[in-house]
Amino acid sequence: MGDLRGIIQHRVQQGGMAASVQASLVVESAQKVFDDFFGLEPQLVRVLYLKNRTLTVSVSAAPVAQEVKKNEAALLENIRNATGDRSIERIRYLL
């Protein structure tokens, strides 16, 4: 049975699905971090995707974008701690 598990893991990694699954888990965890950070208004920031070590988020207004930019280092550290993924380098925000 161990051989079957190895074959499946190898095929998933070979097909590129492992990166997509990992990115999806990072997006989900990052959304929780943003929800906790903004407290009563959790829909101010919506995490869209992770690509090339950049987390892209949609913000509801310019003041929210300023808060994200001002607290980028702390948010990144919280996201890295929540996901265990140290490769995320920056947050890109879209209005």
Count Cβ atoms within 10 A of the Cβ of residue 57 and give its class: 0-12 exposed, 13-18 middle, 19 or more buried: buried
Q: pLDDT, tens digit, for every residue of 48-58?
A: 999 999 999 99
53: left (phi over 0), alpha (psi -120 to 50) or beta: left
- What pLDDT sits at residue 8? 73
Q: Report the C-alpha gap between 63 and 43 in whole angstroms.
A: 14
E-assigned strand segments in 1-95: 45-51, 54-59, 90-94
The pLDDT score that the predictor gives to residue 4 is 76
Torsions phi, psi of 72, nearest 5? Answer: -60, -45
Domains in the chain, ordered, with CATH?
Answer: 23-94 (3.30.300.180)
Taking only the tens of pLDDT, the chain with its 95 residues reads 567 777 777 776 666 666 777 888 899 999 999 999 988 676 889 999 999 999 999 999 999 999 999 999 999 999 999 988 888 999 999 98
